[in-house]
Structure formats: C-alpha cells, structure tokens
Chain A
Amino acid sequence: DVKVTQSSRYLVKRTGEKVFLECVQDMDHENMFWYRQDPGLGLRLIYFSYDVKMKEKGDIPEGYSVSREKKERFSLILESASTNQTSMYLCASSRGARSFGNQPQHFGDGTRLSIL
C-alpha cells in the first residue's frame, strides 16, 4: 500500500514565524500535492509538483512556497505565518497521468496547523 507520511499531526506556531510542513511518500510517485481544507470551503490546491524541482501554482499559492529536492519529499513553507493560515493541511501523491492515465491520489493524514 502507498504510504504518505506527514511529519506532524498537530502544530502550533506564532504569527510571523516561518513554518515548514513535510511530506514523504514511499511509492516513487511523480506527482505530489499540497491542499488546505477548511469548513465550508472544501479542499483547495495550494501547489502541485510533477517532478523534482518542478512546481505549479494551485488555487491559493499566496503566502506559501514549496520545495521538492528529492522525488519522495515535498515540503510546504509558510514564509511568514498569519492567523488566516490556520487550517488542516493535506499532502497527496499520485502516479504521473502522462505515463499511466488518470490516477487516484493518495493522501496523508493531515497536519492541523494553528497560528496564534
């Protein structure tokens, strides 16, 4: 089974801090994703990476950056955390659609981040 591991289940940080959320997948997937999930707003895509060092902006990239230096690891960075970034953050991975057709995404259990 695919395993997507997020480094923390719960995290509390202060306004203005630089925050790193880490995600690791063990299935050699090309694609990795970061979403945030808020009540009433559903899942919104922050960033998508289709290869090492490659990224595309999603719906809400403002205030976030990402890093993918190795295929298995995808990091989400909050450059200067703000209270409106308090949310549940979900990482996912999938095979590349170009090689394998449309593929399901495999999710981690999420990081519930609170910014005080």
Chain B
Amino acid sequence: SQQGEEDPQALSIQEGENATMNCSYKTSINNLQWYRQNSGRGLVHLILIRSNEREKHSGRLRVTLDTSKKSSSLLITASRAADTASYFCATSRDNAGNMLTFGGGTRLMVKP
C-alpha cells in the first residue's frame, strides 16, 4: 500500500499561476521528500523536509509539513510551462531512513 497519497491526481493551470499539490501519509515519519518526473525520464529530488520542520523554501518551491494532520503540501509559485511534470511525495519506510515509499503522484500541466 502507498504511504503517501497525492491530491489532486491531475492539475492544469495557466503559466504564471500558482500550483498547489497535497500529500497525505499514514504513519509517523522522519522526513518527507518531494520529487519531480518529466515525461519519460527518471525522478529528480526537489526538497526534503524533516519532521521537526514546518516549512521550507527552495526558489519558487514552498513545502509545508503538518505532522498532526499527517499531510504536506508543495506550492510552485509563478508556474512556467517547463514545470509541466508529475510530482511525487515520498516518506521513509524504515527506521534507518534508507528506503522510501512513493505516492501515486500529481500530474501537473502548465499551459503557456
């Protein structure tokens, strides 16, 4: 079963708009990671947020984590056509933190 579940499954917006994707998980975590996957390519790590952090920024990306609600959100501001991709959240599945469980992903389309 998937630890992380993204919502929505698909999102279509215009260039310049903000995109928000949500991730819910079931068990306690050490950290949560977000990845991007362009069509036909491998995943690329975007950002890692630890369980004692509530918010983290990286360029146009903002990630929040609410451990009480077991949820995280990824906000992409001022989206560009190049942001078109699938976005996945991932949580550690072992105590050592080596292995990850990925959610089903959100497919984002940014229209020029």
Contacts and interface: CB of A to CB of B under 8 A. Distances in A.
Interface string B1-13: 0100000000000
Interface residues of B, number: 25
A102 B103 contact: no
B37 to A, nearest CB: 8
Contacts of B92: 97, 102
Contacts of A42: 2, 88, 102-105
B16 interface: no
Interface of A: 4, 31, 33, 40-43, 45, 48, 50, 56, 58, 90, 92, 94, 96-98, 101-110
Interface of B: 2, 30-31, 33, 40-45, 48, 50, 88, 90, 92, 96-105
Closest 4 CB pairs of A and B: A107-B42, A97-B97, A104-B45, A102-B97
23 contacts: A4-B42, A31-B98, A42-B88, A43-B43, A45-B99, A45-B100, A45-B101, A48-B99, A50-B98, A90-B42, A90-B43, A92-B43, A94-B98, A96-B98, A98-B96, A102-B30, A102-B50, A103-B97, A105-B43, A105-B100, A109-B40, A109-B42, A110-B40
Given A42-B103, A110-B40, 6 more contacts: A4-B42, A45-B101, A97-B97, A97-B98, A102-B48, A105-B45
